[in-house]
Structure 1
Amino acid sequence: MKSFLLALLLASPSMTWAQNAPTDIILRTDGSEVVGRVLTISPVTVSYLPPASADTLRLAAADVFLVRYANGTREVLHPIAPVAGPDKDDLLPGMSDLQRRVQGRQDAARYYTNQAPFWGSLGATLYTGPLLGLIAPAVITTPAVATRNLHAPHPELLADPAYSNAYREEAHRRKRGRAWGGYGVGAGVWVVLIGALVASVP
Structure 2
Amino acid sequence: MEAPRLDGVDLDDERCNAWSAFTSIEVVAGGRLRELHCCLGRRRFVRNQILLGGGLAMLPTALLQAKPPELQDAASRLSKFYTVSQALLRPLPVNTRLDHRVAARLLAALNSEYPSFPQQLDLLPDDPGADDRYSPVAQLIVAAWFLGTVDKTLVTFERALMYRLTADIFPVPSYCTGKPGGWASAPVAYSGGV
TM-score, normalisation: structure 2: 0.28
Q: Of Structure 1 and Structure 2, which has the larger fraction of its residues in strand?
A: 1
Which is helix-richer, 1 or 2?
Answer: 1
Question: Whose RCO is larger (CA < 8 A, sep 6+)?
Answer: 1
Which one has a bigger Cα radius of gyration?
1
